[in-house]
Structure 1
Amino acid sequence: MKRIHLSIYYLQELKYRMIYAAIGTVLLFFTTYQYKQALIFLILPQGLSHFITSGLTEIFFTYMQICTIISLSFGFVTIVIQIYLFLRPGLYFYESKIALNILVGTVLFYTYLYISVFPLLTKLLWAIFSTYSHNFTPIHLTFEPRLNDYLTHVQYLNKILCFSFPCIISLSLVLKYTNKNLWIKYRGISYIIAFSLAAFITPPDILSQTIVGFPIVLFYEIQIVFWTLYKEYQKQLLVR
């Protein structure tokens, strides 16, 4: 009976924590909706103030989409923190320390990613691809960017950035218990897995799959290069 009472107590605590996280997510959604225009302005290219729309409800659903993505992203972070606080009393000290380090590292990584890297990438990609539209010489081409299309491409970039940290962690863990020759031997299989994962999480078109799959392959190759340089560095230390 005592175990049953304890189980009910822990389930109630977990339920309350999830309710708090859900309420916080909903409140954040309504808060971001009050600043919806400012949020869209932040992700638009600098110096561009002209977009077109072709649907009556396009602007409304664009607002809803932006606010939902932001609120769910922060809500997911809140849920992870609540789960950690729920499990912490039952963890060993080293387990709690490792989980806390991963949690803090994840928050800092994504904070830096979206404050520094994300605006730089959107600006760079806009400058690269808009050049082709402005310099189309065979015929007179008027470039009028559509807001919904631009935000769709920004979402693809957001997916790449979201999966970057889990890919780095997963590859680092696999790297710890394997060797470099094994990674090089099965490089082709890893490419197939990367693009299969990209096909699973993106719309059914080759461009979207390439945009998501190529960074995973790039992380894979960077890990191999980093491991090689790190081993050479260790050898140099042993020689000295």
Structure 2
Amino acid sequence: MSTAPKDELEGTEQPFVSHLVELRDRLVKALIAIGIAFGALCFWPGPGALYDLLALPLVSQLPEGSKLIATNPISPFLVPLKVTLMGGFMLALPIVLYQVWAFVAPGLYSHEKRLVLPLVVSSTLLFVGGVAFCYFFVFGKVFAFIQGFAPKSIAAAPDIEAYLGFVLTMFIAFGAAFEVPIAVVVLARLNVVSIQKLKEWRGYFIVIAFIIAAIITPPDVVSQLSLAIPMCLLYEVGIWAAHLFIRHTQAPAEGGGESAEQDSSKSA
């Protein structure tokens, strides 16, 4: 006689209130990690030094002796603190993601855990890689192009708050763009789109990537190509990674359904 496979999660259900308590505890731990990282960065290298580091790609392209300005009286105090908080979040991001993982892991099957943990780690590395690529490569090219294009009669004096807003927008844009492989893998693994369809839609994605780059980035060719080309390359990486994830994260019923049916019929 055939027997139904035992559910791994049977007997692990918890009351709704206990889930809320655990969620609260995880959030508190994540906030404490961010607070500790923020405090450490305030102590060294300090908010002022962090903002100087963030502004370095722009300042290095300005005429000698030029500086950023503050049009709001409290901007010299608040803006560096915002930068430090952003740095603290990035520094504590592994702990924050671990708390997310620890909260959802008990409700996942073993084959699902093999999918989630690599995705959490890889999505973190890709986001940080996108931010680093934007800071170390894109900013220098963009600011050099803008300063070279500007008339000689204009003295550039960017506002520190406007610069911070621009930087955050670019960081989020490039960090999200570098998550393309994660989106491709998830869509393929959930059977929303087949890998064959993803390959067929390659041309459409290239067009979409250039449209997104033209909308998000400043109106210069360098920054647009710097966003669109990595997106296209990462789309190909996502298709390749989807093969591996689907192969190694199949549920027992998906990977051996036919053989299980044959064994049950023989035993009957």
TM range (shorter): 0.5 to 0.7
Instruction: Find 2:72's aligned residue among 46, 50, 55.
Output: 55
Look up the equivalent residue of 1:43 and give its one-letter code.
Answer: L
The 8 Å contact of residues 142 and 223 in structure 2, kept in 1 or not, is answered as no
Look up the equivalent residue of 1:158 and give its one-letter code.
Answer: F
Instruction: Find 2:179's aligned residue among 163, 166, 170.
Output: 166
Q: Deviations over 1:197-225 (max 9, x none)?
A: x98xx8xxx959x9999877656654677
Q: Give 2:30's aligned residue.
A: 21
Task: Normalising by structure 1, report the TM-score.
Answer: 0.66
Q: Give 2:260's aligned residue.
A: none
1:103 lines up with 2:114 in the alignment: no
Look up the equivalent residue of 2:23 and give its one-letter code.
Answer: L
Deviation at 1:38, TM superposition (A): 1.4
Deviation at 1:36, TM superposition (A): 0.5
CA separation in 1, counterparts of 2:233 and 2:77? Answer: 41
CA separation in 1, counterparts of 2:199 and 2:12? Answer: 48
CA separation in 2, counterparts of 1:41 and 1:157? Answer: 18
Q: Give 2:135's aligned residue.
A: 118
Instruction: Find 2:169's aligned residue among 131, 156, 160.
Output: 156
CA 1:97–1:145: 2 relative to 1, 3 Å: same
Q: Give 1:178's aligned residue.
A: 197
RMSD between superposed Cα atoms in Å: 4.2
Look up the equivalent residue of 2:99 and give its one-letter code.
Answer: Q
Gaps of 5+ in 1: 229-240
CA 1:109–1:4: 2 relative to 1, 3 Å: closer
Q: Give 1:87's aligned residue.
A: 104
CA 1:98–1:181: 2 relative to 1, 3 Å: closer
Q: Secondary structure of the residue that 1:142 maps to in structure 2?
A: coil
Query: Between Structure 1 and Structure 2, which shows a larger proportion of helix residues?
Result: 1
Instruction: Find 1:147's aligned residue among 160, 175, 187.
Output: 160
CA separation in 1, counterparts of 2:29 and 2:128? Answer: 23
The 8 Å contact of residues 156 and 212 in structure 1, kept in 2 or not, is answered as no
Q: Give 2:52's aligned residue.
A: 41
Deviation at 1:158, TM superposition (A): 0.7
Q: Give 1:64's aligned residue.
A: 81
Identity of aligned residues (%): 15
CA separation in 2, counterparts of 1:11 and 1:145? Answer: 46
Look up the equivalent residue of 1:92 and give its one-letter code.
Answer: Y
Q: Secondary structure of the residue that 1:67 maps to in structure 2?
A: helix
Q: Give 1:32's aligned residue.
A: 41
CA 1:12–1:219: 2 relative to 1, 3 Å: same
Structure number with the bigger relative contact order (C-alpha 8 A, sep ≥ 6) is 2
Q: Give 2:266's aligned residue.
A: none
CA 1:177–1:59: 2 relative to 1, 3 Å: farther
Aligned residues: 215
Task: Normalising by structure 2, report the TM-score.
Answer: 0.60
The 8 Å contact of residues 32 and 67 in structure 1, kept in 2 or not, is answered as yes
Deviation at 1:168, TM superposition (A): 3.3
CA 1:141–1:4: 2 relative to 1, 3 Å: closer
CA separation in 1, counterparts of 2:79 and 2:199? Answer: 46
CA separation in 2, counterparts of 1:220 and 1:126? Answer: 22
CA separation in 1, counterparts of 2:14 and 2:233? Answer: 51
CA 1:223–1:157: 2 relative to 1, 3 Å: closer
